[in-house]
Amino acid sequence: MRRSLITALGIFTVALVLATNVAAGPLTGDPSADGWRIEGNSFDKGVYANNASGAPAATFSFDIYSASFTLDTTDHAAIIDSFTGAGLDWLAGDRVIGLGGAFVDNTIDGTGWDPDDWQWAPYSAGGEEFNDDVSGSSNPQAKFGTDYADWSPSTVAPLKDGDGSASTSGGGFGTIHMRTQISFGDRTEDGNSTPDLPDLLRRVDEYGTSEEISKEFGRLIYIADGEVPESWQWLVNIDLLEREFEGEPTPLPGDLAISSVQRGPNRFTDGLTHTVPEPATMGLLGLGGLGVILKRKRQ
């Protein structure tokens, strides 16, 4: 009994540690430095979804991060005070989910795929090294799915087209898609780590149609070296969505999400993950696990 109790308390402690480490403090544009949970690399087996659509494959290797948190006036003042006055303000107490990324070096062995199954897909400017696509026109994207999402990872190795599912419609009714479209060189005059709006924000309606809605449901925080993005954080305000689309589904913590980087019309790398559960939920999971173990010991 004592050993089981110690084990249970360990599980509960881990849950609490994870809960308090996610999205603590102001956001900097670097999800790793901000304590966001790492979900894997865009080319990891079980994460990698697909790579191109009738075009040469992209080589974007980036680590994927996620977070969920509640806005507060101390840590998130820059977010709350940005882009106000349009009637879609972000308020203290609103729930937010985040999807982040950071370009990183990689190796084929490090992805978990059999090296014999890996195929580079060269193109005129490269295509045989990780991240030789990265430039100011490398555009990060995020797709936040809902409970209806049926996305799936690829069962075949990169770099040829993966057979995973990552299309916007696959995220289901209420899915949110955010992306950049302009060069990062046009953004950095306001300084790194400054909250920005997506260039495009779409929502999937009940008929599966992806329609453009106000950009102010989302935020982008990033770090760039001159014109080249290094790391980024996408945020979507789920309480604001619920206020504006009352009674309709919205992405929630724990739902499927797609992190992507695209260059050109069809060259991209998609990685599949789940957004991290809310800290309170993780604490309850820990308490639940503790209760189950204790109940089993009493029987």
pLDDT tens digits, residue range 42-60?
999 999 998 887 778 899 9
Per run of 10 residues, the mean pLDDT along the chain (length 299 residues) is 40 39 76 97 96 84 97 95 90 97 97 94 87 92 96 92 86 96 79 90 96 96 91 97 97 97 88 80 44 37
Per-residue confidence (pLDDT) for residue 28, from 0 to 100: 95
Per-residue confidence (pLDDT) for residue 226, from 0 to 100: 82
Per-residue confidence (pLDDT) for residue 85, from 0 to 100: 79
Structure tokens at 97: 């989910």
Per-residue confidence (pLDDT) for residue 51, from 0 to 100: 85
At position 140, the amino acid (one-letter code) is: P
Confidence (pTM): 0.85
Q: How far, in Å, CA of 262 to CA of 243, rounded?
A: 31
**Domain layout of the chain by residue ranges:** 1-22+279-299, 30-275
Enumerate the β-bridge partners of residue 204: 210
Per-residue confidence (pLDDT) for residue 22, from 0 to 100: 57
Q: How far, in Å, CA of 197 to CA of 12, rounded?
A: 38
> What is the strand order of the sheet 218-225 is part of?
37-41, 62-70, 95-103, 228-237, 218-225
- Cα 249 to chain centroid distance, Å, stands at 19
- By percentage, how much of the chain surpasses pLDDT 90? 64
At position 210, the amino acid (one-letter code) is: S
Per-residue confidence (pLDDT) for residue 69, from 0 to 100: 96
